Amino acid sequence: NLAIKGAAFAEGGRGGKHFVTTKVEHDSTLEAFMYLETRGFKVTYLGVDKYGLIDLDELRDAVTGETRLVSVIYANNETGVVMPAEEIAGIVKEKGALFHVDAVQAAGKLGIDLKRIQADMVSISSHKFYGPKGAGALFVREGLARRLTLAPLIHGGGQERGLRSGTENVPAIAGLGKAAELALAELDQDRERVGRLRDELLARIYSGAGGVTVNGAPDSMVRNTLNLSFEGVHGGSLAMALDLEGIAVSTGSACSEGNVDPSHVLLAMGRTRKEAHSSVRFSLGRFTTEEEIEYAASAVVSAVKRIRGLKGTGS
């Protein structure tokens, strides 16, 4: 919100009242842009292909001299698909617009090289890499801060250089810093181990259940996320069955689990409403074990077969 609304109402900078984003952003981004549209700003929402990736030529055509900011999610929160942030940055910089990266789902799972990804702003959230909930950070490139003053969302005592007033939550900030330090130290080891466990989970489900589709780009995904569609199975029914076995999965973004609408991310990828409703997201982490993968895969296969059997008998 601070990056998007702050840039919209900022003092200085270039560009007009046009913004560019994608149809597969997190709701926190989409809602911010929808708010700007009610205030007279124009927003272009780029589509994606069946793998969840944008067309770089379409991006190049969308960014004009009136474009103030381009905002793109780095790693998708539902599918784990990783956008080509470096290439996107090159196009945006060539066009002279500002570039914001939502790296919330990428932090702690990908190496984020700010020298290569020439973003003007990057947002992260502490709890995504085992830090305290309620703490986040917005990186603002030094050169940007000198030529553009972001408009604050909260006014008051002028803390955080006037960008976010209010007494700082020092323990949460310190926790974020320490969590980031630990995540970086364990990054390569975690990626290799979690990736191997994810591949094992997928292989076991594939061989046992059948009728399974991976939602995402196999060669461009964070390794902790696996989004699957199960033919003939409602995702909500599967999630409930697994919950009874002590396994937590999601039928969409964890922030909107109560929403009965199909995933806007999967719909943007060309999935039908039925296919989107049949999807479940599995999230692995630093503390996931081999035994848990075996148990989860067995439970998924059993639940899928049971649900399909009930549908077959008309129950």
By annotation, the residues acting in catalysis are 255
Task: Find the distance separating the first CA and the last CA of the chain, reported in whole Å.
Answer: 46
Q: Which residues pair with 70 in a beta bridge?
A: 20, 99
Backbone angle region of 126, left / alpha / beta, with phi > 0 → left and psi within -120 to 50 → alpha: alpha
Rounded to 5 degrees, φ, ψ at 110 are -130, 150
Q: Looking at residue 262, what DSSP letter applies?
A: P
Q: How far is CA 51 from CA 41, 62, 217, 268, in A?
A: 29, 21, 5, 10
Is the four-CA dihedral 246, 252, 253, 258 of positive or negative sign? negative
Beta-strand pair 279-283/42-46: unpaired
Please state, in angstroms and as integers, the Cα–Cα distance from residue 85 to each residue in 7, 279, 301, following that order. Answer: 20, 26, 36
